[in-house]
Amino acid sequence: MRLEGVELRRVRMPLVSPFRTSFGTQTARDILLLRAVTPAGEGWGECVAMADPLYSSEYVEATADVLRRFLLPALGAAPDALARHGAPAVASVLSPIKGHRMAKAALEMAVLDAELRAAGRSWARELGAVHDRVPSGVSVGIFDSVAQLLDVVGGYLAAGYVRIKLKIEPGWDLEPVRAVRERYGDGVPLQVDANTAYTLRDARHLARLDEFGLLLIEQPLEEEDVLGHAALARQIATPVCLDESIVSAQTAAAAITLGACSIINIKPGRVGGYLEAVRIHDLAAAHGLAVWCGGMVETGLGRAANAALGALPGFTLPGDISASDRFYATDVTEPLGIVDGHMTVPTGPGLGVTPIPEVLDEVTTSVEWLPL
């Protein structure tokens, strides 16, 4: 394939309600979308970086800058690699540039979508999906009161979500988890996500979560504290799942070897793209680890791609693949919903979804065309 240029489009998407985690509270998403243009058509990518460097060192303004100044010029200087190998060449061409995995993932996503649309192949088929629908879990933020949390959880269960994930932090952990268990029973698959809010000194406190029969505790310690996670895993019965610590198949292999986790949350943006996400899936399956697909409050573009990824055979736990209306009153694509707790995996060419022009224009805050 030949890439003519890439459009960087910033959009602002208000959330239907504030989403609070240990990092802070979001009321809207500042999102960078990429449109890759080729002689055969176009493809879309979505960058999952947040407005501020809280979840990771990347943030929206920086991803736009590194794409503009380094990543796109590097890809433009390697037309032969792209022509011979297509989207799989993107990662190798960009490898000399350190880090910036979310920006690289968005660019690879746009190129791969363009390639698959032109060939009439679906995202799910390309990644190796074996299911036509995936179970939908929902991530529930931190609230001002337990009563408010219980009402929200009840609403999601009534909507059909098959798994609940509670965000936790020091001071908001045992009480809300106990309340959800007491109100909705042991039959509700329940897990918690700390987003690095604790230290190994909290091991005894975190062990008190064991009584609630959780599916897992996600990323309790700092992302670089892999050894700490290994030590924690030996002190608690709740399975430890890594999120922020896993940024590549290489780091996943190290964490597995050290015994730092028994479950991995795979977020394609965090690991540098969907092709690397598949490699982590394959690695985990070879070692007998469960994986699931995490979410980053994506639009319908990223949501459709995640649904396809979650349809691979090793994704044995429900992911954060919620319906569009979980976060957005109006999505930039046709809304993706759930039926009987499951989302249908798109089967059309490429991502299987496309932005609706008038909706996209309404939420766009800036557009920049970068020819190659």
Q: How confident is the model at residue 23 (pLDDT cuts 50, 70, 90)?
A: confident
Residue 30, pLDDT score: 97
Please identify which of the residues 98, 104, 165, 267 carries the catalytic annotation: 267
Band of pLDDT at residue 352, cut at 50, 70 and 90? very high
Percent of the chain whose pLDDT exceeds 70? 100
Distance CA(102)–CA(257), nearest Å, equals 26
The overall average pLDDT reported for the chain is: 97
- Give the whole-angstrom CA distance, residue 155 versus residue 8: 37
Verify that 232 and 324 share a domain, yes or no: yes
Instruction: Confirm whether 165 is a catalytic residue.
Output: no
> d(Cα 8, Cα 62) in Å, to the nearest integer?
13
Q: How many domains does the chain have?
A: 2
Q: Say yes or no: 190 and 114 in one domain.
A: no
Q: Is residue 32 part of a domain?
A: yes
Contact 240, 220 (CB under 8 A): yes
- Rounded CA separation 46/110 (Å): 8
* DSSP, residue by residue, 213-261: --S-EE--S-TT-HHHHHHHHTT-SSPEEESTT--SHHHHHHHHHHT--
Mean pLDDT of 323-346: 96
Residues 115 and 140 in one domain: no
Residues in the chain: 372
Q: Confirm whether 220 is domain-assigned.
A: yes
Note whether 218 and 250 are same-domain residues.
Answer: yes
- In this structure, what CATH number is given to the domain that contains residue 145? 3.20.20.120
Cβ(8)–Cβ(368) below 8 Å: yes
Please report whether residue 349 resides in a domain.
Answer: no
Task: Read off the tokens for 196.
Answer: 């690095």
What average pLDDT does this structure show over 93-103?
A: 97
Confidence of residue 310 (pLDDT cuts 50, 70, 90): very high
Structural domain includes residue 243? yes
Whole-number pLDDT of residue 341: 96
The answer to whether residue 337 is domain-embedded is yes
Domain harbouring 44, CATH code: 3.30.390.10
Under the banding of pLDDT at 50, 70 and 90, the label for residue 64 is very high
**Euclidean distance between CA atoms 96 and 196, whole angstroms:** 29
Confidence band for 90, pLDDT divided at 50, 70 and 90: very high
Ramachandran angles phi, psi of 356, nearest 5°:
-85, 115
Q: What is the pLDDT of residue 244?
A: 96
pTM: 0.96
Over the stretch 150-202, which tens digit does the pLDDT of each residue have? 999 999 999 999 999 999 999 999 999 999 999 999 999 999 999 999 999 99
Say if CB 138 and CB 180 are below 8 A apart.
no
| 103 assigned to some structural domain | yes
Do 112 and 131 have their domain in common? Answer: no
Residue 317 lies in a domain: yes
pLDDT at 1: 82
129 in the same domain as 31:
no
**CA–CA dist 128, 63 (Å, integer):** 29
- 67 by Cβ neighbours in 10 Å (0-12 / 13-18 / 19+) ranks as buried
Q: How many CA atoms lie within 13 A of 182 on its CB side?
A: 10
Q: Same structural domain for residues 145 and 174?
A: yes
Predicted confidence at residue 3, as pLDDT, reads: 95
Shared domain check, 182 and 133: yes
Mean predicted confidence (pLDDT) in 205-216 = 98
Mean pLDDT of 247-276: 98
Q: Which is the catalytic residue, given 98, 104, 165, 167? A: 167
Could you tell me if residue 60 is inside a domain?
yes
Per-residue pLDDT, 305: 98
* Mean pLDDT calculated for residue range 125-152: 97
Supply φ then ψ for residue 307, to 5 degrees: -60, -40
Q: Where does the pLDDT of residue 82 fall: very low under 50, low under 70, confident under 90, or very high at 90 and above?
A: very high
* Residues 150, 43 share a domain: no
307 closest CA partner among 274, 263, 262: 274
Please indicate, yes or no, whether residues 331 and 359 belong to a single structural domain of this protein.
Answer: no
Which range of residues forms the domain containing residue 181? 125-344
CA distance 343 to 29: 23
198 and 234 housed in the same domain: yes
Question: Is residue 267 among the annotated active site residues?
Answer: yes
Looking at the structure, do residues 219 and 325 belong to the same domain, yes or no? Answer: yes
CA pair distance 148, 51, nearest whole angstrom:
27
Tell me, what's the pLDDT at 200?
98
The DSSP element (H or E) to which 319 belongs, if any, is none
